[in-house]
C-alpha cells in the first residue's frame, strides 16, 4: 500500500466518524410541563454516556409577591426548553462558596447569582426511559443554609456507575430562605419548603426521566444532611421519599433550633466549660493535647453526639438504620492541611458522588490515586445499594451491620471494619455524667451544709 493510499483511507475514516457522530442527537424528554433538550456527558471508566438535564424549574421564580413566601409549582412552557446550562445560584456570598469548594478540593465554574434560582439538575443513565424505573437519589447540597448550589457538584458518575437517576436541587439561602417574623407575615423556613416542593416535582415528573417515583432516596452533606434528617420527620414531606442518608448533619444538632439566641451560650456556663475542659484537655499544659481536645469537642458536640441521638431515635421507632464513620483523608488535600488533620468535614462527598470520574465543570484540584478510585466505586456501591433496597450491603462488600442495641456501625475508609458504640464513653459523659455533675453543683449551692 502506498503512502497516498494510507492518507486516503485515514481521511475516509475521519469523514465516516464525523458523519456518524453528527447523527447522534441530544436527549429530549417530554414532561407534563413541556419538552426539555438535554445533553450527553461522558464519565471516566465507563463506555456509555449519561443524560444530563440542567436548570429544570421546579417552582415559580420566588420574586415580587413570591419573595419570602412559600414556593409555588412551576409553570409550563411552549416549545423545546434548553436544559444544557447550569441554573443561576441562589443569592449568597459567592466568595464564601468558593472558599468552601477550595476546602473540599474542588474547582467549579459557578453561574451568576439570582433570586430566580429554584431549579434542579437531573443525571440519568444513557438507557433511561419512561419504562426503566431506576432508583432516584435526590442530593441536597450543604453550606450552612447560607451558601451552596446544585452546580457545585455533579451527579453523572453516580448515575453511570450505579444505574440510578440523580437529582440535585437548589433552595433559597440565608435571609431569603430562612428569615421569619414569627407570625403569618413571614413564617420562615422557605428554604426547607423549597426542598419539599422539589420533592413534589420529582414525584410527579421523574418517571419521564427513567426514575421510579416509588423508590426515592434523599441524601446530603452538612446542611444537606440536616435537611434530609428534618424532612424525615416532616409531615409535609410524607410519601415523597423512601430512604434517607444524612452525612455529617442531623436534626438533633442542638444549635439548629433555639427560641432565644442567647441560649446558645447561657450566662451561667462557667461550670459547664470547666467540666468540658477537664474531660477533653486535662491540665491544659500539653499544646498537642489541647489541639486534639478542642478538635474532639467540636466533633463530638456538633456531629457524633447528634448522630448517635438520631440513630437511636430512628432505631427505637422501628426503622432500619445503618451508621458509619468516615476515616479517609483525600490524598490531594494532604499537602494543604496540617499533619494532625485526619478526615475532615465533607471529605466523603468526592467519594459518594464519584467526582474522581466526572468530566464536566466540576474539577478536582488534584488527581485521584488508584486506591481512591476503588474507594469511590465502593462507596457509590454502598450508597446505591441502600437507595435500591434499604440496605447498603451487596456482593463483594464488607458486611455493614444494622444499627442495633450495641450501636453497630461501619468504620469506612480504605479498610472497612464493623465496630460498635461510636464514642460511647464521651456519649455517656455528655448525656449523663455532665448533667449529674451540674445538678450536684446546683444542689451544693442551694444546700451548703451538704
- What cell was used for 142? 450543604
pLDDT at 288: 83
| pLDDT one-digit tens code per residue, 189-234 | 999 999 999 999 999 999 999 999 999 999 999 999 999 999 999 9
Q: For residue 189, which of 180, 199, 198 has the smallest C-alpha distance?
A: 180
C-beta neighbour count of 326 within 10 angstroms: 22
| pLDDT one-digit tens code per residue, 129-142 | 999 999 999 999 99
Asked whether the predicted pLDDT for residue 437 surpasses 90, the reply is no
- The SS3 call for residue 33 is coil
* 195 compared with 2, residue with greater pLDDT: 195
pLDDT at 337: 78
Q: How far is 42 from 168, CA to CA, in rounded Å?
A: 18
> Given pLDDT bands bounded at 50, 70 and 90, which one contains residue 444?
low
Domains, the chain, in order of start with CATH, read: 22-260+326-422 (3.40.50.1820)
CB within 8 A of 156, min separation 6: which ones? 41, 43, 50, 52, 123, 166, 358, 359, 360
Please, which residues bridge with residue 165 across strands? 136
Q: Phi-psi category of 210—alpha, beta or left, where left has phi over 0 and alpha has psi -120 to 50? A: left
Asked whether the predicted pLDDT for residue 311 surpasses 90, the reply is yes
Asked whether the predicted pLDDT for residue 1 surpasses 60, the reply is no
Q: pTM of the predicted model, to two decimals?
A: 0.89
Amino acid at each position: 500500500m502506498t503512502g497516498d493510499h494510507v492518507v486516503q483511507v485515514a481521511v475516509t475514516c475521519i469523514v465516516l466518524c464525523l458523519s456518524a457522530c453528527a447523527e447522534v442527537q441530544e436527549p429530549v424528554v417530554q414532561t407534563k410541563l413541556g419538552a426539555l433538550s438535554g445533553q450527553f456527558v461522558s464519565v471516566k471508566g465507563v463506555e456509555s454516556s449519561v443524560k444530563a438535564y440542567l436548570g429544570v424549574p421546579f417552582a415559580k421564580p420566588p420574586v415580587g409577591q413570591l419573595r419570602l413566601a412559600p414556593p409555588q409549582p412551576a409553570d409550563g412552557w411552549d416549545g423545546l426548553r434548553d436544559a444544557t446550562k447550569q441554573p443561576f445560584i441562589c443569592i449568597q456570598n459567592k466568595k464564601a462558596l468558593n472558599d468552601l469548594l477550595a476546602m473540599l478540593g474542588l474547582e467549579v465554574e459557578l453561574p451568576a447569582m439570582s433570586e430566580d434560582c429554584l431549579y434542579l439538575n437531573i443525571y440519568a443513565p444513557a438507557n433511561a426511559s419512561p419504562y426503566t424505573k431506576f432508583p432516584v437519589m435526590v442530593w441536597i447540597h450543604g453550606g450552612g443554609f447560607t451558601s451552596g448550589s446544585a452546580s457545585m457538584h455533579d451527579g453523572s458518575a453516580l448515575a453511570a456507575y450505579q444505574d440510578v437517576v440523580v437529582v440535585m436541587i437548589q433552595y433559597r439561602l440565608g435571609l431569603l430562605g430562612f428569615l421569619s417574623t414569627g407570625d403569618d407575615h413571614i413564617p420562615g423556613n422557605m428554604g426547607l419548603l423549597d426542598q419539599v416542593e422539589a420533592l413534589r416535582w420529582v414525584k410527579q415528573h421523574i418517571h419521564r426521566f427513567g426514575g421510579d417515583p416509588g423508590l426515592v432516596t434523599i441524601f446530603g452533606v452538612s446542611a444537606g444532611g440536616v435537611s434530609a434528617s428534618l424532612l424525615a420527620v416532616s409531615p409535609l414531606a410524607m410519601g415523597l421519599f423512601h430512604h434517607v442518608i444524612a452525612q455529617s448533619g442531623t436534626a438533633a444538632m442542638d444549635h439548629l433550633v433555639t427560641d432565644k439566641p442567647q441560649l446558645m451560650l447561657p450566662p451561667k456556663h462557667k461550670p459547664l466549660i470547666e467540666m468540658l475542659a477537664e474531660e477533653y484537655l486535662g491540665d491544659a499544659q500539653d499544646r498537642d493535647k489541647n489541639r486534639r481536645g478542642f478538635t474532639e469537642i467540636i466533633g463530638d458536640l456538633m456531629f457524633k453526639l447528634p448522630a448517635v441521638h438520631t440513630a437511636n431515635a430512628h432505631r427505637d421507632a422501628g426503622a432500619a438504620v445503618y451508621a458509619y464513620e468516615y476515616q479517609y483523608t483525600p490524598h490531594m488535600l494532604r499537602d494543604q492541611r496540617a499533619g494532625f488533620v485526619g478526615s475532615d468535614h465533607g471529605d466523603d462527598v468526592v467519594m459518594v458522588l464519584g467526582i474522581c470520574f466526572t468530566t464536566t465543570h466540576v474539577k478536582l484540584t488534584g488527581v485521584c490515586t488508584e486506591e481512591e478510585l476503588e474507594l469511590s466505586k465502593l462507596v457509590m456501591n454502598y450508597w446505591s445499594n441502600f437507595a435500591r433496597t434499604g440496605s447498603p450491603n451487596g456482593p463483594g462488600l464488607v458486611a455493614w451491620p444494622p444499627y442495633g442495641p450495641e450501636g453497630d456501625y461501619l468504620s469506612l475508609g480504605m479498610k472497612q471494619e464493623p465496630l460498635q458504640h461510636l464514642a460511647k464513653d464521651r456519649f455517656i459523659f455528655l448525656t449523663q455524667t455532665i448533667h449529674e455533675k451540674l445538678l450536684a453543683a446546683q444542689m451544693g449551692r442551694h444546700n451548703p451544709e451538704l
